[in-house]
Structure 1
Amino acid sequence: MSNVPPPSNYSSSYPPLFRPNSTPTHVVDQDDPTTHNPGSDPLPVIDLHGLNHDAKHTLAEACKVWGIFRLVNHGIPITLLNQLHDHAKELLSLSFESKQALRSGSMSYFWGTPALTPSGLAIATERSPSSLSINWVEGFNVPLSQLSVLQADGDPILDTFRHLLDEYGRHQSRVATTIFKAMAENLNLLGQEKCKSYISPSTGFIRVYRYPRCSESNHNNQASAWGMDAHTDSSVISILNHHDQVGGLEVYKGHKWLDIKPIPNTLVVNLGDMMQAMSDDEYKSVKHRVKANKYDDRISIGYFVFPAQNGVIQSSKYKPFTYSDFQAQVQKDLMTMGFKVGLDRFKLNKAS
């Protein structure tokens, strides 16, 4: 990581709220007394290539105890990871206005939220100004099922990016379905008819995130210096590729936030709310957050996959629901309460 700031005109690629003040205010200090920084990687490691009987037991323990693990031997070429990261960085370095203009075809640009809605700040602006919590993040959201209609308009960077995303998405679909099959076997779900709709590669999408450096921020009541606030994913499985060496990802375990270091050519896999419900709470949807960096941008690429559109999740712990039901409730809670309640809304014997 370099402590040398980017060229001054580089900040024009940031959303206006994220640009350094002409008069610096202060350096953001995100140190948290509950954060623990172990010397070695704390995550359990799963070898996708060697997912035999013993490895499946290790996978089950990782899902029960952690809800997150590091994946090695995933079979995604390092050249593809390098090219995807380089093109993502190039696109995100465009001017803010140019990125806003890229809202065409299947790709949409967002900033200030984790893209829980396609309208970016729509959630925040519906709430009172005093309750705004804007995350220090921007990026592109790309549903893979609509990738073929992404309009490149003769732009070679965007056209190449589309082809890279297509190849990367096919690899991620393979990885996610392989992991899910192993988890379903561990949970004795595979023989059940309902399991067929529990994961649908057609729902997969990719989010390309950039967390701008935050050494001189407009840090006030309307902006949070957190890249992303603490949350759980709504997915079945989420797969993160943080290719560069800028850290910031933290997971909550044992009443502490653990720092997850970037390790080249590995992926970080975490379980989402849908997987927790499918497992009758045996597996956990892990709480995580992203810390803004004082000196460097952090770029990461996430893949998220969900149940089939009308697939009903049945569980001894929750009322039957579809992902559409869950998504609608999350959006309602965000609009009315300002935060995601999540699975608790669907717990049996609990008020809705």
Structure 2
Amino acid sequence: MSESEISMDLESYPPIFRLPNIQTQIFIDSPVKESEPIPVIDLHCLNPSELGKACRDWGLFRLVNHGVPSTLLSQLHKHAKRLFSLSFESKQAIFTNPLYYLWGTTAITTSGTALMIGLQNIHWVEGFHFPLGQLSQFQPEDPILASLRLVLEEYGEHLCRLATTLFKAMAVELILDPKESKSHLAESTGFVRVYRYPLCSMANSPWGIDIHTDSSVMTILNQYEVGGLEVLKDNEWLQVKPIPDTLIVNLGDMMQAISNDKYKSVKHRVRLNKHTERISVGYFVFPEEGSVIRSSKYRPFTYGDFRAQVQQDIKTLGFKVGLDKFKHTLASSP
């Protein structure tokens, strides 16, 4: 993106992203290996054993033959770019409950709080939050948002299919109780997040989103042609490069707990690009609200319990503690 293009596009970014870059040090990229072959799972010939190995060793895999039309993925990207190109003020105005416009944070709290926490603590990302179960009830007046809603409804149907198919195979591999595990993934909880990351030169940090794990059962990501996703594997950071017609699936905290720590909730982060902005689309899905997760590693809890604890920890500690707050504590020896 040229300097003139950046200047023309600035009004589409949140005001805090438009401030002169005031960093006083040069960011030195931490060493990142070129990714070794990430496990590839073929949905046409889904093998629970291969799927289980990927979930145990990586907590992440590429999904091929997923059945999501490439034309639909292209339409979604095109509509997302048009929506992001609107002025910041326009985006704030057209997004009303149950949809949300986020910036400087990945939480569904008032995004304006990013202004109060300082440049060093914000996430250099803006995004749109779409709860799929409520899209059909929402009739936006803005034509760009209305067009995107229609595309998202079709996309959401495909992603629900993928998540359900993959979870059933995981439940088989883990030998989970069918009756109990049935409520551990609920299509009604699914939502889509569409993110835009600015150029690295606009930020006070090399990171769009710093190190974290997802709270979901699983996340299905389309990162299009611009990379930036990095995952932690055996204490080394690896790049997850975009490959056409593939999706990235990573496991979240709920799946780790459901599997009794046999599967891992993978740590990951997003690095800003030096040459172009990045748009990605993530689908997140969770257990039913009242579904109790039971395992030998953790005390029984629901996703609602987990979410409340995360919100409390962020408020009091400034960061997410996650599953460690729910681990069984061993009684002291006499």
TM-score range with shorter-chain normalisation? over 0.9
Describe the shift of the 1:172–1:350 C-alpha distance in structure 2 as closer, same or farther (beyond 3 A).
Answer: farther
Q: Aligned match of 1:110 in 102, 110, 122?
A: 102
For the 8 Å contact 1:104–1:150, the answer to whether it is kept is no
Superposed CA offset, 1:27-47 (max 9, x none): 9645103x2124xx5310000
1:277 maps to amino acid: A
Q: Which amino acid is the alignment partner of residue 223 of structure 2?
A: H
The one-character-per-residue Cα deviations of 1:75-96 (angstroms, maximum 9, x if unpaired) are 0001000000000011011111
SS in 2 for 1:300: strand
**Which position in structure 2 is the counterpart of 1:252?**
232
Q: After TM superposition, what 4+ stretches of structure 1 lie above 3 angstroms from structure 2?
A: 2-5, 23-30, 121-125, 129-132
Contact 1:207–1:301 under 8 Å retained in 2: yes
- Using the TM superposition, give the Cα deviation of residue 25 of structure 1 relative to its aligned residue in structure 2, in angstroms: 6.1
Establish whether residue 140 from structure 1 lines up as the match of residue 137 from structure 2.
Answer: no
Shift of the 186–250 alpha-carbon distance from structure 1 to 2, 3 Å rule, reads: same
Q: Secondary structure, in 3 states, of the residue corresponding to 1:261? A: coil
Q: 1:93 to 1:167 in 2, by over 3 A?
A: same
SS of equivalent to 1:136: coil
Partner of 2:321: 341
Q: Which residue is 1:63 aligned to?
A: 55
Alignment CA distance shift 1:74-1:3 (3 Å): farther
SS in 2 for 1:258: strand
Sort the Cα spacing of 1:58 and 1:3 in 2 relative to 1 into closer, same or farther, 3 A. farther
2:103 and 2:114 in contact (8 A); partners too: no
What amino acid is aligned across from residue 73 of structure 2 in structure 1?
Answer: L
Counterpart in 2 of 1:150? 138
The answer as to 2:261 corresponding to 1:287 is no
1 CA distance for matches of 2:33 and 2:240? 10
CA deviation string 1:251-298 (max 9, x = no partner):
001111101101111100000000000000000000000001122110
Q: Are 1:234 and 2:207 counterparts?
A: no
C-alpha contact 2:227 2:240 (8 A) present in aligned 1 = yes
How far has the Cα of 1:19 moved from its partner?
1.8
CA RMSD of aligned residues (A): 2.1
Residue 133 of structure 1 aligns to which amino acid in structure 2? N
3-state secondary structure, aligned to 1:313: coil
How far apart, in 2, do the equivalents of 1:25 and 1:255 lie? Answer: 29
Structure 2 counterpart of 1:327: 307
User: Where do 1:154-169 residues align within 5 Å?
Assistant: 155-169=142-156
- Equivalent residue number for residue 38 of structure 2: 43
8 Å contact kept, 1:135–1:225? no
Residue 120 of structure 1, aligned match among 111, 116, 123: 111
2:216·2:254 contact (CA, 8 Å) conserved in 1?
Answer: yes
User: Which sections of structure 1, spanning at least 5 residues, go unmatched?
Assistant: none
In 2, Cα distance between equivalents of 1:197 and 1:175: 16
Larger helix share, 1 or 2: 2
How high is the TM-score relative to the length of structure 1? 0.89
**Higher RCO by CA contacts (8 Å cutoff, separation 6 or greater):** 1
Amino acid at match of 1:50: C
Encode CA deviations 1:210-249: one digit per residue, 9 max, x unaligned.
Answer: 00112143x2xxxx44100100000001000111x21110
**Quick check: 2:135–2:153 contact (8 Å CA) kept in 1?**
yes
- What is the CA–CA distance in structure 2 between the aligned matches of 1:235 and 1:197, rounded to whole Å? 14
Deviation at 1:124, TM superposition (A): 7.9
TM-score normalised by L of structure 2: 0.93
